[in-house]
């Protein structure tokens, strides 16, 4: 059997220092590094430069040999340089580089993480935790207590998240008069990190006088507490009682770690209990809670939550440009002029695109705010905009094609059959339903489906014509794998 050739890439943190013609390599341990100079230093820098992207090891060596005009007798030095960089961790196997393959990233459950920062000195490191959460694919917002603002800048956190950072109960606006209610409804998981003894006390007592405790008390999402305090506080009976009370109330608590007490002089510090869990572990704990929530089924937003969601989006931006697969299917199945219904129109991109193609278009949405803002983008667009619930619709017209981009996936199980029956009533026999849904695993705000599930549940009314893998934006959380189904309306229910 042929041995699989390995691919190498420069490590995310190669631990290399250069200067004065020298190169210092620092390994994982204090005595694992070495210093190089002259030709050896230039050689390891050439290897690292060639390995900025994953590259087959043999090709890496061959390219350096060719670029240097070296002969075969010098190849041994290149092999030794590669082996040295692998040993100290400056080069890693492509599969170990710290970024999961696209397939692995797509399979992970990601969600909306509200990071609630309180007034422990560890809050100074909150930007690093935000970075780890964002890198893992989560959508992140931040809330802060007044005390936390002594240690970390709002502006820094807003620059990283591109989202407003809330710092008080009374910092609302006409569209979100109660920030703690809006944040509590938005989050799929709330992470209170670091969590001070004061915040623990507030939450245990049901005291909602501070933003963070109010959000943690109000939310339906799981709440992860990451205590961080000095050893004396951590061992205090009142803190122990508060932690036990919160666990019994359904909160999740990350076990504290060991670190230094900054109240002591730097030269006098020794490791002590009480430091918050490592941030990498906090991310893992949050993802475990997201997975548990996903397994229990998506937490579908209410009408009020959808209104808030649409209100905060830019006036002309919901999911960006119209999906190319939707445009292509519309052109294939609906020669202009056709009668088109866009159910769950959101910002109205699909509806306006269909109208530009010459179709007669009706666009509906569950959210009054979505319809108001979609219409305001182009008041002259030849589209009829209606607030309507597809499970109890007041729209009685018949259409040639129905477009559903994400709406069916947000329909509760108890109303799913009514939705299917309504789409069947909307479409003429032979009409086409363009249905776009998320693939498995499910996101936390919508159901996800596979091909056989769609075929089975729509069989009484529709014939599955095509099922094409595609991508769909989900709010601001980026593109997620999806299916675009083309279903033809049967002449009668079978």
pLDDT digits (tens, 9 = 90+) for 295-337: 777 777 777 777 767 776 655 444 456 888 998 999 899 888 9
Read off the DSSP letter of residue 322: P
Crossing angle of the two packed helices 57-68 and 75-88, in degrees rounded to 10: 130
Q: Are strands 34-37 and 55-56 parallel, antiparallel or unpaired?
A: unpaired
DSSP calls for 334-346: -PSS-EEEEET-T
Task: State which H helix or E strand residue 132 sits in.
Answer: helix 126-135
What is the pLDDT confidence band of residue 104, given thresholds at 50, 70 and 90?
very low
CA-wise closest residue to 289 among 193, 360, 359, 374:
193
Quote the mean pLDDT of the chain. 84
CATH domain 313-489 topology? Rossmann fold (3.40.50)
> How high is the pLDDT of residue 30?
67
Query: Which spans in 176-302 are helix H?
Result: 179-186, 197-205, 211-218, 231-235, 237-248, 279-295
- 3-class state of residue 209 by DSSP: coil
Q: Are 470 and 482 in contact (CB under 8 A)?
A: yes
Q: How many CB atoms lie within 10 A of CB 238?
A: 12
CA-wise closest residue to 275 among 228, 231, 235, 243:
228
Please compute the mean of the pLDDT values over residues 42-54 and round it to a whole number. 87
> How high is the pLDDT of residue 347?
87
Q: How far apart are CA 197 and CA 397, in angstroms?
A: 60
What is the pLDDT confidence band of residue 105, given thresholds at 50, 70 and 90?
very low
402 phi/psi in degrees, rounded to 5 = -120, 130
Q: Does residue 162 or residue 316 have the better pLDDT?
A: 162
- 3-class state of residue 472 by DSSP: strand
Q: Are strands 22-25 and 16-19 parallel, antiparallel or unpaired?
A: antiparallel
Let me know if the fold of 102-296 is the same as that of 313-489: yes
**Range 102-296 classified under CATH 3.40.50.1950:** yes
Q: Is 288 exposed, middle or buried (0-12, 13-18, 19+ CB in 10 A)?
A: middle
Q: How far apart are CA 193 and CA 277, in angstroms?
A: 9
Q: Are 464 and 449 in contact (CB under 8 A)?
A: no
Q: How far apart are CA 51 and CA 78, in angstroms?
A: 13
Lowest model confidence (mean pLDDT) among 6-10, 95-99, 447-451: 95-99
CA-wise closest residue to 117 among 234, 228, 241:
228
DSSP calls for 235-260: HSHHHHHHHHHHHHTT-EEPPPEEE-
Q: Are strands 91-93 and 272-275 parallel, antiparallel or unpaired?
A: unpaired
Dihedral, CA of residue 229, residue 290, residue 180 and residue 210, to nearest 10? -10
Q: Are 311 and 374 in contact (CB under 8 A)?
A: no
> How high is the pLDDT of residue 358?
93
Q: How far apart are CA 286 and CA 278, in angstroms?
A: 12
Q: How many CB atoms lie within 10 A of CB 123?
A: 24
Domain ranges of the chain: 7-96, 102-296, 313-489
Please compute the mean of the pLDDT values over residues 2-13 and round it to a whole number. 72
Largest distance between two CA atoms of the chain: 83
pLDDT at 71 over 70: no
Q: How far apart are CA 319 and CA 475, in angstroms?
A: 7
Give the CATH class of 7-96: alpha beta
Q: How far apart are CA 229 and CA 493, in angstroms?
A: 65
Q: What is the pLDDT of residues 360-409, one digit of tens each?
A: 999 999 899 999 999 998 888 999 999 999 999 999 999 999 999 989 98
Lowest model confidence (mean pLDDT) among 2-6, 135-139, 367-371, 410-414: 2-6
Q: How far apart are CA 264 and CA 267, in angstroms?
A: 8
pLDDT at 28 over 80: no
pLDDT at 476 over 70: no
What is the pLDDT confidence band of residue 342, given thresholds at 50, 70 and 90?
very high
């Amino acid at each position: 059997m042929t041995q699989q050739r390995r691919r190498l890439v420069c490590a995310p943190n190669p631990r290399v220092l250069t200067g004065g013609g020298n190169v210092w390599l620092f390994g994982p341990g204090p005595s694992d590094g070495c210093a190089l100079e002259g030709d050896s230093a230039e050689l390891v820098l050439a290897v690292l430069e060639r390995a900025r992207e994953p590259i087959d090891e043999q090709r890496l060596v061959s390219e350096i040999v060719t670029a240097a005009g070296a002969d075969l007798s010098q190849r041994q030095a290149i092999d030794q340089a590669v082996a040295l960089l692998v040993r100290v961790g400056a080069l890693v196997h492509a599969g170990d580089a710290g970024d999961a393959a696209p397939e692995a990233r797509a399979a992970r459950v990601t969600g909306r993480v509200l990071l609630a920062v309180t007034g422990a000195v560890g809050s100074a490191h909150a930007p690093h935790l935000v970075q780890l959460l964002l890198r893992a694919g989560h959508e992140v917002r931040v809330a802060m207590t007044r005390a936390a603002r002594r240690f970390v800048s709002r502006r820094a956190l807003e620059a990283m998240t591109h989202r407003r950072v809330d710092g008080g109960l009374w910092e609302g606006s006409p569209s979100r008069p109660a920030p703690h209610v809006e944040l509590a409804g938005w989050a799929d998981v709330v992470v209170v990190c670091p969590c001070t003894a004061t915040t623990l006390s507030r939450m245990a007592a049901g005291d909602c006088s501070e933003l963070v405790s109010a959000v943690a008390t109000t939310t339906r999402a799981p709440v992860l507490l990451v205590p961080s305090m000095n050893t004396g506080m951590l061992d205090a009976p009142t803190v122990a009682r508060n932690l036990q009370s919160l666990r019994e109330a359904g909160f999740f608590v990350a076990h504290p770690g060991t670190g230094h007490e900054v109240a002591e002089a730097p030269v006098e510090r020794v490791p002590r209990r009480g430091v918050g869990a490592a941030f990498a572990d906090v991310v893992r704990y949050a993802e475990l809670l997201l997975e548990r929530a996903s397994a229990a089924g998506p937490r579908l937003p209410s009408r009020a939550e959808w209104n808030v969601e649409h209100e905060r989006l830019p006036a002309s931006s919901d999911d960006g440009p119209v999906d190319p697969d939707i445009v292509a299917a519309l052109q294939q199945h609906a020669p202009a002029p056709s009668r088109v219904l866009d159910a769950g129109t959101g910002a109205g991109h699909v509806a306006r695109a269909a109208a530009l193609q010459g179709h007669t278009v009706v666009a509906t949405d569950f959210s009054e705010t979505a319809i108001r803002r979609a219409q305001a983008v182009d008041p002259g667009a030849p589209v009829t905009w209606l607030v309507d619930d597809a499970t109890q619709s007041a729209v009685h017209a018949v259409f040639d094609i129905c477009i559903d981009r994400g709406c069916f996936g947000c329909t509760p199980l108890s109303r799913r059959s009514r939705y299917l029956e309504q789409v069947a009533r909307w479409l003429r026999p032979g009409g086409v339903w363009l249905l776009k849904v998320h693939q498995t695993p499910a996101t936390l705000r919508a159901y996800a489906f596979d091909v056989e599930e769609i075929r089975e549940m729509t069989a009484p009314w529709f014939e599955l014509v095509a099922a094409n893998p595609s991508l769909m934006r989900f709010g601001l959380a980026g593109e997620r794998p999806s299916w675009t189904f083309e279903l033809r309306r049967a002449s009668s229910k079978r």
